[in-house]
Amino acid sequence: MKRTVLLYLMIAGLIVSSCKSPGNKENEELVSLEGRTMGTELNVQYIDSLKRDFSKEVDSVLIEVNNSMSTYIPNSLISIFNKMDTAGTLEVDRHFYQVLLIAKEIHRESHGAFNPALYPLIHYWGFSGGTAPDEIDSSKVDSLLKICNFDLIHGTMAISGEGDTSYYVTKDDGRAQLDFGAIAKGYGVDAVHDLLRSRGIASLMVDIGGEVRCSGVYTDGKAWRIGIEDPIKSTVNSKKAMQVIALENKAIATSGNYRNFRIINGQKMVHTINPASGYPELNSLLSVSIVTEDCTHADAYATSCMVLGLEGARELISKNPDIEGMLIYGIEEGELEYWSSPGFKEITLKD
Ligand code: AMP
Ligand code: MG
């Protein structure tokens, strides 16, 4: 497959896909596509008796998504929006608009823990293309926090007399900027999933850096099996699964802070920013895996839980009947504990 050489999120995969390797008779109809997108690995598998190659179409949809929402591409729609230094409106595409709407929903549901308007602070702390400061300037953090207000950003839609739909995003203050780093990977997974479904593929698995969505079943007639990475025993090159789950017509996303962090003045600064304080949020949670209908929601909820911490995350998952989750947290140096919601336990294959 031609590689999609677009940089996006510099976070490695947090989930190991554990399915049988193709080659035996059972797997004759299994097609596997591999590549890179959004700064991480792409792995797509689907069952097709015609063994059609959809790699070009998968590539183009991911290029479209990246050109819309990657802050690493200088002329992407999100970069153009972020560079607008006065209040105003920009015409965007349906990808941007859909992600903005879901982001608004999850911002509300997470009581502000999920906040894609944090870009100025994310950049300040050295993520999303920014350079970490040598010293922490608390007055700078406070002043940036004031403009990281998602209520300053709105999406609108218009339908013309001919039935064409246009999408717009408006900022009320020129300093407001967006970062979809906690949601766009999940959206990319959904975009590839929907493309393959529209081509008549019933059984498929799409994995972008550990954000996964499955439809139908694997070649053995059983649900796709997805491994959840052990945050302590795994390394970038050697992934160890802590648990394996059976995923049927659902998505899973995992957020963690054990791999993507900066050291500032000897202090570990993780890439999850707490919108209440403006500072990186380091709590006992090492990783959160969320299972829900689609990967866009799963991705954003996983990040929300990392911000909320163990108790807040447990409450968010328990209150919402549409999401299931597993939280891995540290109790003592090097010792892990985990909590799974009842629905998550039901799909867990091995403890
Ligand atoms: P994820 O790996 O999905 O948890 O996404 C982490 C990325 O989301 C970070 O690298 C930031 O770009 C962005 N981010 C950090 N904190 C937040 C937050 N509180 N709300 C939304 N996005 C965030
Ligand atoms: Mg996320």
User: What domains are there in the chain, each with its CATH number?
Assistant: 63-171 (1.10.3980.10)
> What are the E-state strand segments in 29-101?
30-37, 40-47, 88-92
Strands 324-332 and 285-292: antiparallel
Pocket probe for ligand 1: among 14, 110, 118, the residue whose CB has the most ligand atoms within 8 Å is: 118
Contacts of 41 (CB under 8 A, 6+ apart): 13, 34, 35, 207, 208, 209
Contact 59, 42 (CB under 8 A): no
Using the mean position of ligand 1's atoms as its centre, give its distance from the Cα of residue 181 in Å.
Answer: 6
Out of 273, 279, 292, 304, give the residue to mutate to test ligand 1, the one with the largest number of ligand atoms within 8 Å of its CB: 273
Work out the burial of residue 250: count CB atoms within 10 Å of its CB; fewer than 13 is exposed, 13-18 middle, 19 or more buried: buried
The phi, psi pair for 296, rounded to 5°, reads -60, -50
- Whether 95 lines ligand 1, by a CB cut-off of 6 Å, is no
Amino acid at position 158, single letter: A
- 322 CA to centre of ligand 2 in angstroms: 17
| DSSP secondary structure letter of residue 26 | G
C-alpha of residue 265 to centroid of ligand 2, in Å: 27
Give the ligand whose atoms come closest to the C-alpha of residue 71: 1
For residue 264, list its beta bridge partners. Answer: 267
Q: Does 127 contact ligand 1 (Cβ within 6 A)?
A: yes
**Residue-level pLDDT at 28:** 79
The answer to whether the CB of 287 falls within 8 A of the CB of 312 is no
What's residue 4's pLDDT?
A: 25
For ligand 1, mutation pick of 148, 272, 274 (most atoms within 8 Å of CB): 272
Tell me how far the alpha carbon of residue 132 is from its chain's centroid. 22
- pLDDT score for 197: 98
Tell me how far apart the alpha carbons of residues 29 and 120 are, in angstroms, rounded to a whole number: 47
Query: How high is the pLDDT of residue 232?
Result: 77
Q: Is 66 in the pocket of ligand 1 (CB under 6 A)?
A: no
Residue 19's pLDDT is 36
The reported pTM is 0.92
Q: List the chain pLDDT tens, one digit each, 351 residues.
A: 222 222 222 222 333 333 334 555 567 799 999 999 998 999 999 999 999 999 999 999 999 999 999 999 999 999 999 999 999 999 999 999 999 999 999 999 999 999 999 999 999 999 988 899 999 999 999 999 999 999 999 999 999 999 999 999 999 999 999 999 999 999 999 999 999 999 999 999 999 999 999 999 999 999 999 999 888 787 777 777 888 999 999 999 999 987 788 888 888 888 999 999 999 999 999 999 999 999 999 999 999 999 999 999 999 999 999 999 999 999 877 788 999 999 999 999 965
Residue 311 neighbours by CB distance under 10 Å: 11
- Separation CA 255–CA 270 (nearest Å): 12
Vertex 13: Cα angle to 10 and 15 (nearest 5): 160
Select from 239, 228, 242, 254 the least CA-distant residue to 351: 242
Going from the Cα of 224 to the center of ligand 2, the distance in angstroms, rounded, reads 22
CA atoms within a 13 Å half-sphere pointing along the CA-CB vector of 175 = 10
DSSP string, 64-113: HHHHHH-TTSTTSHHHHHHH--SSEEEEE-HHHHHHHHHHHHHHHHTTTS
Tokens at residue 312, please? 């807040």
Give the ligand whose atoms come closest to the C-alpha of residue 273.
1
Residue located nearest, by CA, to atom 3 of ligand 1: 182
The radius of gyration of the chain's CA atoms, rounded to the nearest angstrom, is 20
In this predicted structure, what is the pLDDT of residue 175?
98
The reported pLDDT for the residue numbered 260 is 80
